Amino acid sequence: MKEIVALDVGGTHARFALAAIADDGAISVGEPVTLKTGDYASLQTAWEEFERRCGAPLPRAAAIAIAAPIVGDTIRMTNNSWIFHTRGLVDQLGIDAVTLINDFGAVAHAVASVPEDQLVHITGPEGPLPAAGTISVIGPGTGLGVAHFFRHSGGYHVQSTEGGHMEFAPLDSIDDRILAKLRAQHQRVSTERVHAGPGIMEIYRCLAELEGRAPDLTDNTTVWQKGIAREDSLAAAAVDRFCSSLGSVAGDYALAQGASAVVLAGGLGLRLRDLLPTSGFGERFRFKGRYTQMMSGIPVKLIIHPQPGLYGAVAAFMTEHPQ
């Protein structure tokens, strides 16, 4: 068994956990410790704090998922002051081996590696993920994460993308209204302006305007809470609209990536677990004109593992550093 530190670094928080890779390749991830990145000057000082909390020396290997493109030798995060010097991480942290991966690439590794019981059915044919071919992974959260992986007889290969920044494609008159309002604020409207957590406010305001009423709720957290709980009819309509629209863009990614299956991920996906199967998600996912019949044969699942970023970072480490 090999012990390893798993780390998932976002703009606001860094989650650390001790993980283990069994001799048969099974991955186990311990309870994570969440630190605010703004409270620490660097990755190294946060690492030292995690070691202090563990009360023992840390394993000499690390798998680090980071919310940034992994390009070049120096990575500067957008929403915090941490800087990653990729060639110096081993010396900086006092370890022997490290894997650094984009955070949503790590989620794709998790989808490729978790046991089948960590994937639940949303729409399309039921059954396990295909043993070969491309699988799209889409995660609505603070932003919209998009990746895919290709399964083949020798394993799989993950491709991280910035697909959340593709342009928003309206389908009907309500989408047209949403696009017009966003275009008044932004020169270019990416799909994550609508298909990520904050996008619920754009949908909610648009529906309020459609009905000629003032929006009562003023923040996206409240809209999500009241909409999912069905405590506010307009918020509930906005959540339903979000689910349908997410189906459209998920279908677009499946077409673009030649996917034989799609997996949804992320905290927002988990919150929508009970709503998605009975929402308009599936209908909009399949509604692709001449390709509607083909889309009907593509299964869509949701990963329910509580820490897919950490789990996937360890899975990525295994592919880069085979035992």
CATH number at residue 207: 3.40.367.20
Single out the residue of 241, 127, 256 nearest to residue 173, CA to CA. Answer: 241
Judgement on whether residues 17 and 72 belong to the same structural domain of the protein = yes
Question: What is the DSSP track for 117-141?
Answer: GGEEEEESS-SSPPSSEEEEEEEES
Whole-angstrom distance, CA of residue 230 vs CA of residue 98: 45
Has residue 131 been placed in a domain?
Answer: no
Same domain, 28 and 51: yes
State the Cα–Cα distance between residues 225 and 223, nearest whole angstrom: 6
If asked whether residues 288 and 271 sit together in one domain, one would say: yes
Q: Which residues contact 306 (CB under 8 A, 6 or more apart)?
A: none
- What band does 14 get if pLDDT is binned at 50, 70 and 90? very high
98, 212: one domain: no
Q: Are 174 and 243 in the same domain? A: yes
Check whether residue 265 and residue 312 sit in a common domain.
no
Mean of pLDDT over the chain:
93
Residues 298-313 have a mean pLDDT of 96
Q: Report yes or no on 210 lying in a domain.
A: yes
Q: Are strands 27-29 and 13-21 parallel, antiparallel or unpaired?
A: antiparallel
Looking at residue 106, which CATH number applies to its domain? 3.30.420.40
Instruction: Check whether residue 315 and residue 299 sit in a common domain.
Output: no
- Binding-site positions: 7-12
150-190 tens-digit pLDDT = 999 889 999 999 899 999 999 999 999 999 999 999 989 99
Here the tokens at position 85 are 């010097």
CA 176 to chain centre: 26
d(CA 50, CA 56): 10
Shared domain for 198 and 287, answered yes or no, is yes
User: DSSP letter string over 19-74?
Assistant: EEE-TTS-EEE---EEEEGGGSSSHHHHHHHHHHHHTSPPPSEEEEEESS---SSE
Mean pLDDT within 303-323: 93
The parent domain of residue 258 ranges over 163-303
Give the number of other CB atoms < 10 A from CB of residue 18: 19
Rounded mean pLDDT, 107-127:
96
Residue ranges of the annotated binding site for ATP are: 7-12
| Co-location of 167 and 285 in the same domain | yes
Would you say 47 and 81 are in contact if contact means Cβ atoms under 8 Å apart?
no
Q: Phi and psi at residue 10, in whole multiples of 5°?
A: -110, -175
pLDDT category of residue 74 using cuts at 50, 70 and 90: confident
Structure confidence at residue 22 as a pLDDT band (50, 70, 90): very high
Query: Do 197 and 277 belong to one domain?
Result: yes
**pTM, rounded to two decimals:** 0.92
From the list 249, 104, 106, the residue with the least C-alpha distance to 166 is 249
Q: In the chain, where does DSSP find H-type helix?
A: 43-54, 89-93, 103-113, 173-183, 199-210, 220-228, 233-257, 267-271, 281-286, 292-296, 308-320
Are 265 and 198 contained in the same domain?
A: yes
Q: How far is CA 25 from CA 20, 114, 132, in A?
A: 9, 11, 20
**Residue 287 dihedral angles phi and psi, to the nearest 5°:** -75, 85
What pLDDT was estimated at residue 290? 96
Q: Residue 164: which residues within 8 A CB-CB, separation 6 or more?
A: 143, 144, 145, 146, 190, 191, 192, 195, 196
- Number of compact structural domains in the chain: 2
Q: How many whole angstroms separate alpha carbon 186 and alpha carbon 198?
A: 15
Q: Residue 70's pLDDT is what?
A: 83
